[in-house]
Amino acid sequence: LHNIELASNGFPSNNISLSQRIFADLVLAKKWKDVKFKAVQGLQICVFLAHEPGNTNNQLIIVPILQDEANLSIENIANMFNSINTPAEKLTLAIYSSDSTIVYYHIRKGLAKATQRN
């Protein structure tokens, strides 16, 4: 956790602690192995590069977000993809709420036409 703090030098303190909470959830609660972090200046936060247990094919890029500050407009989502500087068709948003609940949502690049249901 200290390494995340060092890599986040100059980032807002609430973003540093958010990254540390998400890292702890991935490693301690979810038991994910080989979770790496990457400081992203454009987002002012550390994101995580990891594989779900049992799936070494698809690397996930996990972006921590505070629920109270989440503004998931198309423009902001596009900014996330652009700021990360890692080719990705999908991001995983780790949304942290004030009651310490963390939910994970996958979000894909671009818009897709909705499928019709009968």
pLDDT tens digits along 49-100: 998 888 778 889 999 999 988 788 888 888 999 999 888 888 999 999 999 9
Q: Say if 118 falls within a structural domain.
A: no
What is the number of structural domains in the chain? 1
pLDDT in tens, 30-62: 998 889 999 999 999 999 999 888 877 888 999
Is the model's pLDDT at 2 over the cut of 90?
no
pLDDT on residue 53: 82
pLDDT on residue 1: 64
User: Is residue 6 classed as helix, strand or coil in its secondary structure?
Assistant: helix
pLDDT on residue 44: 93
Note down the domain range covering 100.
2-108
Q: Say if 102 falls within a structural domain.
A: yes
Enumerate residues 6+ apart whose C-beta is below 8 A from 49.
Answer: 35, 36, 37, 38, 59, 60, 61, 62, 86
pLDDT on residue 39: 94
Instruction: Give the domain CATH number at 87.
Output: 3.40.1350.10
As a whole number of angstroms, the distance between CA 19 and CA 14 comes to 9
